[in-house]
Structure 1
Amino acid sequence: MTYNNVGKIVNTHGIRGEVKVLATTDFVDKRFAPGETLYVAIKDNEPKKLTIQRHRRQKQFEMLTFEEVSDINEAEKYKGAQLQITSDQQTPLENGEFYYREIIGLKVYSVQKEFLGTITDIMETGANDVWIVARPNGKEVLLPAIKDVILNVNLDQHCVIVDWLEGLDEQ
């Protein structure tokens, strides 16, 4: 079974087993709704199933309690662990939308079929995402993820076709 990260438990909160989570999902309300199932990954062990009992927000964190965790001692062992969902639990995306994990690692080619590099990370900015491309020469290039630049994303062929803007390589 494939698991995907949706948040990280960064700390415990109080004595009743509540945990402070830094969310890494765009679907916070759906993912952390009471009754939803998450899996917690601890080191190399098989992920353990947890059912959300309560969810609330506190500043930039999601505060969760689980039916299976009743006190701080139980919650403490999950500190630093990733919260995950199975592939079956994933929310379907609109046509032309992708999960970050699908984009990272794709090979980038120009319209002229020149290999330009590999996407290593994604930065979120206010206007649009920026894909970080590791060039073959070891340098990194910031590629704006906009329609004028990203012409085609082909997950089957593990590549992206871009209109490489003049000056991108001159950083």
Structure 2
Amino acid sequence: MQYYDVAKILTTHGLNGEVKVAVITDFPNERFSAGSELALKDQPEEVLTVKSGRPFKQFWLVQFEEITDIDQAEKLKGKTLVVSEANQQELPAGSYYYRDILGCQVLDNETGSLIGEITDIEAPGANDIWLVKEENGKEFWLPYIKDVVKKVDIEHKQVFVELMEGLRDED
């Protein structure tokens, strides 16, 4: 079974076993919702059930059903929380895990010709931007919006796009 990192446990919070975590996941609201099942990276068989989770400054505070006092919580410090592939919720249509998009080939939607490969993703604002590296080594950012990205085929690692003028440095 595959596991994906969700958060790193930084420290205890209060006396009732709540922990402060640094978020690694793109979906903290889902991962830290009540009833969500997470595990420890080095002991995936030990399942922790989220009792409650809430944002706190740039971190999250998470309480697990199984951890009821500060002594138990102390033992979690420095550990990484993971979610099993089986416990990942289905993503809403049009949402993808970064790992599924990275490495995809970018193809022209009309001609099918290869434009390049997605090598990085950033989320600067309303929509993600995908870094495309062309065969010649040039790079440009592709906004993930429906006017540009026409079809995403995760199975075949292909993204079909319609480039707007000015996206690439065309000589």
TM-score with structure 1 length normalisation? 0.78
CA distance in 1, matches of 2:77, 2:52: 18
Indicate the residue corresponding to 2:58 in structure 1. 60
Q: For 1:60 and 1:161, how far apart are their aligned partners in 2? A: 35
Structure 2 residues without counterparts, runs of 5 or longer: none
Q: Which residue of 2 aligns with 1:39?
A: 39
2:99 is matched by which residue type in structure 1?
R
Calculate the aligned-residue CA RMSD, in Å.
Answer: 2.6
Distance (Å, rounded) in 1 between the aligned partners of 2:36 and 2:92: 23
Offset at residue 145 of structure 1 (A): 0.8
Distance 2:68 2:115 in 1: 48
DSSP-derived class of the 1:75 partner = coil
Provide the residue aligned with 2:27 in structure 1: 26
Secondary structure of the corresponding residue to residue 102 of structure 1: helix
CA distance in 2, matches of 1:13, 1:27: 19
**In percent, how many aligned pairs have the same letter?**
36
Would the alpha carbon gap of residues 55 and 127 (structure 1) be closer, same or farther in structure 2, given more than 3 Å must change?
closer
Q: Aligned with 2:76: secondary structure?
A: helix
Match of 1:95 in 2: 93
Change (3 A) 1:139 1:18: farther
Aligned residues: 164
| Partner AA of 1:75 in structure 2 | L
CA gap 1:94/1:18 in 2 versus in 1, 3 angstroms: closer
> Match of 1:161, as an amino acid?
F
Q: Is the 8 A contact 2:38 2:50 kept in 1?
A: yes
Stretches of structure 1 that go unaligned for 5 or more consecutive residues are none
Give distance in 2, aligned partners of 1:69 and 1:116. Answer: 54
Change (3 A) 1:113 1:47: farther
The residue aligned with 1:12 is 11
Indicate the residue corresponding to 2:163 in structure 1: 164
- Give the TM-score normalised by structure 2: 0.78
